[in-house]
């Protein structure tokens, strides 16, 4: 199976770096998905959720406030100002990271729509997850 290299970095360090199946990014012109062999692209990102599908089929979420994405055939590089990965060993850790992510989004975005969209997205994917 072909994979894509995804790296998410912020001034506070690297948030994510792994080979993945596909990723959905919150572009400023709308959300877009990236699969291997995607055409080269540089896009502005807006406040939202990056939805990553890992090689094993699981989903991982990362909330970002603002940034840029560089896409080419084999790799995706996301340069974000702030990012919070929604991960955790158990439910309370996950809940904690979710509230952090929501804080991050609310702190930067003044549009209620963006906040609502991001929150809805988190809820949706968490429901699809099996714990």
Partner 1 sequence: MANLKEIKRKIKSVENTKKTTRAMKLVSTAKLRRAEMAARKSRVYAQKINEVLSDIAQKINQYKIGGIDSRYFDLKDTIDKVDIVFVTADKGLCGGFNIQTIKQVQLLMKEYKDKKIKVRLRAVGRKGVDFFRFQGVELLSSYVGVSSSPDYEKAQEIINEAIADFENGVTDKVILIHNGYKNMISQELKVVDIVPIEEPKSTDSVSLSLMELEPAEDETILNSLMKKYFEYNMYYALIDSLAAEHSARMQAMDNATNNASERVHKLTLAYNKARQESITTELIEIISGVESMK
Strands (E), the chain: 4-10, 13-27, 30-34, 41-45, 48-54, 59-64, 67-71, 75-80, 83-86
Tell me the closest approach of the beta carbon of residue 131 to partner 1, in angstroms: 31
Residues 46-75 that bind partner 1 (CB under 8 A): 68, 70, 72-74
Q: In the set 1, 40, 92, 113, which binds partner 1 (CB under 8 A)?
A: 40
Is 31 one of the binding residues for partner 1 (CB under 8 A)? no
Which residue's CB is nearer to partner 1, number 67 or number 122? Answer: 67
Is 42 one of the binding residues for partner 1 (CB under 8 A)? yes
Which residue's CB is nearer to partner 1, number 13 or number 57? Answer: 13
Tell me the closest approach of the beta carbon of residue 74 to partner 1, in angstroms: 7
Q: In the set 18, 19, 79, 119, which binds partner 1 (CB under 8 A)?
A: 79
């Amino acid at each position: 199976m072909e994979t894509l290299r995804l790296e998410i970095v912020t001034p506070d360090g690297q948030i994510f770096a792994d080979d993945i199946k596909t990723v959905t990014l919150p572009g400023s012109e709308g959300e877009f998905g990236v699969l291997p062999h995607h055409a080269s692209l540089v896009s502005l990102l807006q406040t939202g959720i990056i939805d990553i599908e890992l090689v094993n089929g699981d989903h991982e979420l990362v909330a970002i406030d603002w940034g840029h994405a560089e896409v080419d055939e084999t790799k995706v590089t996301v340069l974000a100002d702030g990012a919070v990965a929604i991960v955790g060993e158990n439910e309370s850790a996950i809940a904690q990271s979710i509230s952090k992510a929501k804080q991050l989004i609310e702190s930067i975005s003044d549009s209620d729509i963006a906040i609502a969209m991001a929150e809805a997205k988190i809820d949706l994917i968490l429901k699809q997850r099996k714990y």
